[in-house]
Amino acid sequence: MANKEEKADEKQSSWKDFFYNPRTGEFIGRTASSWALIFLFYLVFYGFLAGMFTLTMWVMLQTLDEHTPTYRDRVANPGLMIRPRSLEIKYNLSIPQEYSKYVQPLELFLQPYNDSLQEANEACPEGVYFEQDDVEVKKVCQFKRSVLGHCSGLDDFGYSKGQPCILVKMNRVIGLKPQGNPCISCKAKREAPLQMQYFPAEGKLDKSYFPYYGKKLHAQYVQPVVAVKLMLMEEDYNSELTVECKVEGSNLLNSDERDKFLGRVMFRVSVSK
Ligand SMILES: *[C@@H]1O[C@H](CO)[C@@H](O)[C@H](O)[C@H]1NC(C)=O
Ligand SMILES: *[C@@H]1O[C@H](CO)[C@@H](O)[C@H](O)[C@H]1NC(C)=O
């Protein structure tokens, strides 16, 4: 019994010695000066690494241009996207709560296109690039939402009538000047063609909205959009329809095997009643 207590005592004192040994002045196995040297070593070591990192970073940043990305693959080939953001548009036209999740984002998206706001921008001549390479402050061509006609936000963008509008937009690419007459063209993937209305007419993406000069130089840039109204009929309800929109009439790629969004976008629509 006494033996055991002694042993326990010994153990405790060796633990205490390990933390601080009053005889040698060691703290966790090292003297204060030894610890100080270690800290000094790591301080210098990590200080050196941080300095090296900062220096290389600085050198790299010197090589970058503020306004245009250094590496741009597929420069002239933007992707397409639609609004509402969903690639699966499915609702019952008798239930407003079901389509409000599509109508509200559209309304929000078109806020900056309000005619009153767009009045402040340039009325650019149509059909020619709006080049401003030599101007410090880049101007912006107006795009009024009234151009979108039946898809400009009247009667719930047609969702309540079962003839929904979809907005198609092309991703911004700095410096892009599409040749020809780029336009958005959509097709339903089925035997019988589906009637569609385009706004602006023929789904035109006017040249005056190009080139784009980048977020910094061209902060107020207004992206052109094309609205497509799907003229669904009674017999189209309750079935799923696949629609593909492509940018056509120009040199922009729209049929890349591997990239399903390069110059095109596919979505499904199903309206029930
Ligand atoms: C846009 O116009 C509509 C009516 O035409 C108005 O209700 C709305 O507040 C306007 N939005 C902005 C941001 O001016
Ligand atoms: C759509 O909603 C109406 C009204 O609630 C309902 O009568 C109808 O059955 C719904 N249609 C489908 C396909 O669910």
Closest-CA residue, ligand 1 atom 4, reads 114
- Residue 184's DSSP bridge partners are 247
- pLDDT, mean of residues 185-193: 94
Closest-CA residue, ligand 1 atom 12, reads 111
3-state DSSP of 173-222: CECCCCCCCCEEEEEECCCCCCCEEEECHHHECCHHHCCECCCCCCCCCC
Closest-CA residue, ligand 1 atom 2, reads 114
How many Å lie between the centroid of ligand 2 and the Cα of residue 123?
46
How many Å lie between the centroid of ligand 1 and the Cα of residue 148?
15
Q: Is the CB of 92 under 6 A from ligand 2?
A: yes
Q: Which ligand is nearest to the CA of 119?
A: 1
Q: What is the pLDDT of residue 155?
A: 83
Q: pTM surpassing 0.85?
A: no
Closest-CA residue, ligand 2 atom 8, reads 273
Q: Is the CB of 96 under 6 A from ligand 2?
A: no
Q: Domain 80-272 belongs to what topology?
A: Immunoglobulin-like (2.60.40)
Q: What is the pLDDT of residue 154?
A: 78
The residue among 207, 200, 250, 260 whose CA lies nearest residue 228 is 200
For residue 20, give the H/E element and its range.
strand 20-21
pLDDT tens for each residue of 206-251: 999 999 999 889 999 999 999 999 999 999 999 999 999 999 999 9
Q: Where are the domains of the chain?
A: 2-62, 80-272
How many Å lie between the centroid of ligand 1 and the Cα of residue 90?
28
pLDDT tens for each residue of 65-90: 777 777 766 567 899 999 999 999 99
